[in-house]
Amino acid sequence: MKVYLLCLGLFCIGLYCILRKRNIIKIILGFIIAEYAVNLFFILAAYRMEGRSPIFAPDAKIVNMVDALPQALVLTAIAIGLANVALLISIALRIYDKYGTFDITKIRELRG
């Protein structure tokens, strides 16, 4: 149970970073932290106490294995997260080119 709560804590730290920080890079870092928290939670949800790796051998019984599916899914989720972060960072670089700052309070031309 404690690990799940830690995961939740990590997620909240990420959300806090996204909502409260002013620096674009810190917002991106917050996004990455929140994303890792979700991925970690996915892996933990698949873990079984005293489980073994899910490899099927002719003499092995199918008991006590950890769930293998989430591990495959998390790989996909990590790849998607990478694409998201790469996009965010490339936009951040372009923003720095145009505005000369990473401070979001100074990058506020759109409002209303």
Please count the other Cβ atoms lying within 10 Å of the Cβ belonging to residue 65. 15
CB of 60 to another protein, least distance (A): 21
6 vs 18, beta carbon nearer another protein? 18
Residues 74-112: b if buried by 16+ CB within 10 A, e if exposed:
beeeeeebeeeeeebeeebeeeeeeeeebeeeebeeeee
Nearest CA to 52 out of 64, 41, 61, 42 is that of 64
Q: Which is nearer to another protein, 12 or 60 (CB)?
A: 12
Task: Summarize as ranges the residues that interact with another protein (CB under 8 A).
Answer: 11, 15, 18, 24, 27, 31, 34-35, 38, 41-42, 45-46, 67, 69-70, 73, 76-77, 80, 83-84, 87-88, 91-92, 94-95, 98-99, 107-110, 112
Q: Least distance (Å) from another protein to the CB of residue 55?
A: 19
Q: Dig out the tokens for 73 from the structure.
A: 């899914």
- Min CB(74)–another protein separation in Å: 9
